[in-house]
Structure 1
Amino acid sequence: MPDSSRLRVAVIVGSTRNDRFAPVPAHWIAEQARAHGDFEVDVIDLLEERLPVIFNGDDPEAPLPDEVKALAPRIEAADAFVVVTAVYNRGYPASLKNAVDWFYSEWNAKPVGFVSYGGVGGGLHAVEQLRLVFNELHAACIRDAVSFANYWEVFDDQGTPRESHAVDGYAKTLLDQLSWWGHALRDARTKRPYKV
């Protein structure tokens, strides 16, 4: 039975490309969250979820696609999120924006942390854009992110960062902040439901 004192964190694997690297940092941050002790972890891989390619919100009365209905309870149940994103052309993957747009109230008044990867910029261009998107959804973005510049040099063949003593500390900072905000916002939502 789940420990209700712990937070449910959804780790979202944002890239769906065939040659994607996303599962490596996603697995790493999921393991860091499990080891942290304050989280129950649900890894949501957008490649496996197979959401419809384009969100069409023109008709709010239209029935939701089955894939969206299947994923909705997992997004709703999460107390916090860690979004793992690549950077594509100085932005984030279209698959990630599509997934975000299928939901709205499920993101409200919940904290979102980021793990990014890319070339010399480590994917931070994607993160900065995602902060604007999640702000519009009434989510609370965590200040400190984890980014992997030149990611192909960072992880070994087992998916472990070569300098784990350093990056594990960054993960702890992110997760500590996510934990604080996650508890504060969950307590607040319990006392007074969030209204947009």
Structure 2
Amino acid sequence: MTKIGIITGSVREGRVNLQVAEWVKELADKLNIDDAEFEIVDIKDYELPLFNEAMPPAMANKQYTSEDINRWSQKVDSLDGFIFITPEYNKSTSTVLKSQIDYLGPEFGNKPAGIVGYGSTLGVAATQSLRQILANFNVATVGPFGAFSLFTDFENMSTFKPAEVHTATIEAVVTTTANWAKAFKTIR
């Protein structure tokens, strides 16, 4: 079974991130892709302190000393691919998502990722920022990416109500990520 984690990118109170992740998962499940299983991985369940180390423990050949970091490491390691749901804050991805990624290293490597962004400018800058971050960990990001507007895809900027026009793009993100994840198993 190919396991794809739909990773949330926000932990703040009143976040809409989880709504987007749930919608993407529902759509992914409806696609019924052979040998692909999707699950939401809420970073709030693995909330770690802000990364403030000289380098990630795995890269320094140290064991993870925190049970929370161990759980996060094991979860990411168990996945074959990712779909990141990222808000756009100040033309970048969220600090908390960047920090969660920074804690690890090899667990992300040689796996594909799709990205779904949202914000006042469709989350495009956050998507580009996240692509650069992931490239450092040898994560291949798929070509299509999702882009939702806080003004048109969210009611009162708080309730996710995506326009139908986005469905085909998100289906492409999901399908491409799942197909790449299957293929990437051969190099890990």
Structure 2 unaligned residues grouped into runs of 5+:
none
Q: In the alignment, what sits opposite 1:122?
A: 122
Cα distance change, pair 32–80 in 1 and its aligned pair in 2 (3 A):
same
3-state SS in 2 of match to 1:140: strand
User: Which residue does 1:133 correspond to in 2?
Assistant: 133
**Contact 1:28/1:160 (8 A) holds in 2:** no
Aligned to 2:112: 111
Moved more, 14-23 or 74-83: 14-23
CA distance in 1 between partners of 2:101 and 2:15 (Å):
19
Number of the residue aligned with 1:34: 29
Which residue pairs with 1:148 in the alignment? 148
Deviation at 1:55, TM superposition (A): 4.2
Q: Percent identity?
A: 22
Task: Tell me the equivalent position of 2:102.
Answer: 101
Partner of 1:10: 5
**1:46 equivalenced with 2:43 (yes/no):** yes
- Indicate the SS of the match to 1:90: coil
CA positional deviation for 1:187: 2.5
Q: What count of residue pairs does the alignment treat as equivalent?
A: 180
TM value normalised by structure 1 = 0.84
Separation in 2 of the partners of 1:63 and 1:184? 30
Per the TM alignment, residue 135 of structure 1 is displaced from its structure 2 partner at its CA by 0.7
Q: Contact (CA 8 Å) 1:51, 1:68: kept in 2 or not?
A: yes
Of stretches 77-86 and 27-36 in structure 1, the one that deviates more from structure 2 is: 27-36
| Secondary structure in structure 2 of the residue aligned to 1:53 | coil
Distance 1:36 1:23 in 2: 20
State the distance in 2 between where 1:146 and 1:70 align: 28
Query: Match of 1:129, SS?
Result: helix
Contact 1:33 1:175 in 2 (8 A): yes
CA distance in 2, matches of 1:71, 1:137: 16
Q: Which moved more, 1:101-110 or 1:35-44?
A: 35-44
TM-score (norm 2): 0.87
Name the Cα RMSD after superposition. 1.9
Distance 1:134 1:186 in 2: 18
